[in-house]
Structure 1
């Protein structure tokens, strides 16, 4: 393992230097990796593993849209694309990449195919951590492991094709064979991770649920809406309000943060922006901190898991979800966004050609 220093804290991580792809392929040369589910994480992980030289098959419900997507991606029915139960039977490593709701529904089928020595792989600690609600309790004679890329499957695949990687956490819940560590790290390298940092199933799901509801999605959307509303109420046009709220952040400032950190972004802005941001930073932090504490408590108590499971059990969940997303999509804020995106310079030549 490599050692990284984060201020005064030292952390051990796994990089491609000490665990190269060739070693990963060798570790899993006798394994059949069955990707169960071809929705959010499935395509990226499956295709990256396949391109990296691993023995991969996909399990998916036949005649579904995701089955058709798998075929379009080059998976061949009867060769490396199978119904879910047959994939469970064929695989020695079962990558359980269905949605949390899908994992609960399919668990009785998967469990009966988890014979001694197999490995059960997750990219989310939800099902195991909240097993009193999900019923997912793995047999004692299989390895239970986790690799959680810190981003969507789409990003994982896109970065892989660009010759880059997406950082991932890894965890071992159960080591029945004595090979759980080498299996999980080999899979982490195989799916295209930049580097791997250690966690456990509980910490992974607590951080993941907090992040999704917080700064990654929920808080971000809420802050966008609040600032846009204030600007519009004070007479600013939709173009001005959207560009100052979303477009400048996503297209100009966040790439600078990604490149060299927040201070680098500040250093590349005007002194007026620097001074105002530094003065207001602590006020926003102090205002948000109680909300984040409430959020973490709701996650760690299992309340967020209960809400999620109950919502997904409703027969009209997808209908209600689409209604909520439609409300967001059709709001003035995101209608302005759709227009602004069409006017980005890189889009204009293509549109001129069409017109």
Structure 2
């Protein structure tokens, strides 16, 4: 395949077999590439990767002699893994890849000067990247080059992106831009923003005495239907598909919810990301054994919206 020719004949190693790891490894393997998955001894993913048909080795052995090494372990685990298993085994002139710029941008990993460094970030969760690939389609990928001693690292990055994303499209970026926009999007919109919006809507209706099941459908369940229309056709087409009543309410109410204060808060979130405050706090959280995150997980798992949602999902998705 012309789009991935720069990977042909090369030994590829994917470190990690989680959400992104399995997608990268299997998509490239299905295209005939020589892929080895690097895992820690005793990893729960070892048997799964072998059953999926890819070669597996401990991280150090998988890295030795590899031409391209893509690190897809969790962000917080990468620095120690790089120092203990990857750095000394990475051959001179190899290509070192990441799917997120976090550790390079915040200088938690400083690669040796004799290796090329690139990034390929598929724009979708790993399980969807894999499912869409298996369906004969693909996802766009962001690509960036951090170090290019071989003067062809961009070609390697684009080949990897075209392989994993099945040639849908590659968007050029930088490690800085990808890191800061990705963190901002997750926190302010995709995860933090959307979940708090749905939670607040649900709570407002329930506290006003409305049926929790009806509140769940109106503020959570139907979110997917709207997002799917936006995803497939854009805002204008979505508004053309809903009722005039809903469209009118959209125009007059949206700005009451997302106010100037909301946008100022977003700017504050972005500033914390840009100056490394969020990264520092997240690293401290991991070193503290995820105490804050575990507390939040427990509270949300026991919340009213989860109780109602569990019942509603069983009804909607029962066979």
Residues 1:116 and 1:90: Cα distance change in structure 2 (over 3 Å): closer
Q: Which residue of 1 aligns with 2:161?
A: 188
- More divergent stretch after superposition (190-199 vs 155-164): 190-199
Q: Say if 2:304 is the partner of 1:328.
A: no
d(CA) in 2 for partners of 1:302 and 1:119? 27
d(CA) in 1 for partners of 2:229 and 2:223? 10
d(CA) in 2 for partners of 1:81 and 1:106? 17
Q: Say if 2:182 is the partner of 1:208.
A: yes
Q: Say if 2:221 is the partner of 1:247.
A: yes
d(CA) in 1 for partners of 2:157 and 2:95? 9
Q: Say if 2:20 is the partner of 1:41.
A: yes
Q: Is the 8 A contact 1:34 1:90 kept in 2?
A: no
d(CA) in 2 for partners of 1:307 and 1:152? 24
Q: Is the 8 A contact 2:64 2:91 kept in 1?
A: no
Q: Is the 8 A contact 1:60 1:81 kept in 2?
A: yes
d(CA) in 2 for partners of 1:158 and 1:173? 30
Q: Which residue of 2 aligns with 1:256?
A: 229
Q: Which residue of 2 aligns with 1:60?
A: 39
1:115 deviation in Å? Answer: 2.5
Residues 1:209 and 1:68: Cα distance change in structure 2 (over 3 Å): same
1:171 deviation in Å? Answer: 0.3
d(CA) in 1 for partners of 2:10 and 2:3? 11
Counterparts of 1:25-174 in structure 2 under 5 Å? 25-75=4-54, 80-108=55-83, 109-131=85-107, 134=108, 136-174=109-147
Counterparts of 1:221-232 in structure 2 under 5 Å? 221-232=195-206
d(CA) in 1 for partners of 2:48 and 2:269? 36
Q: Is the 8 A contact 2:65 2:91 kept in 1?
A: no
Q: Is the 8 A contact 1:25 1:54 kept in 2?
A: no
Q: Which residue of 1 aligns with 2:240?
A: 267
Q: Is the 8 A contact 1:35 1:58 kept in 2?
A: yes
Deviations along 1:26-49, whole A, 9 cap, x unmatched? 221221110011122100111001
Gaps of at least 5 residues in structure 2 are none
d(CA) in 1 for partners of 2:17 and 2:65? 17
Q: Which residue of 2 aligns with 1:5?
A: none
1:320 deviation in Å? Answer: 5.6
d(CA) in 1 for partners of 2:77 and 2:165? 25
Q: Is the 8 A contact 2:66 2:90 kept in 1?
A: no
d(CA) in 2 for partners of 1:116 and 1:147? 21
Gaps of at least 5 residues in structure 1 are 1-21, 351-355
Deviations along 1:50-94, whole A, 9 cap, x unmatched? 00111111000122212233233233xxxx200011011131101
Residues 1:320 and 1:290: Cα distance change in structure 2 (over 3 Å): closer
Q: Which residue of 2 aligns with 1:281?
A: 254
Q: Is the 8 A contact 1:60 1:82 kept in 2?
A: yes
Q: Say if 2:209 is the partner of 1:235.
A: yes
TM-score when normalising by structure 1: 0.85
d(CA) in 2 for partners of 1:323 and 1:180? 43
d(CA) in 1 for partners of 2:315 and 2:8? 49
Deviations along 1:175-218, whole A, 9 cap, x unmatched? 11011111000000111252110100000000111111121101
SS at match of 1:145: strand
Q: Which residue of 1 aligns with 2:310?
A: 338
Q: Is the 8 A contact 2:65 2:90 kept in 1?
A: no
1:25 deviation in Å? Answer: 3.6
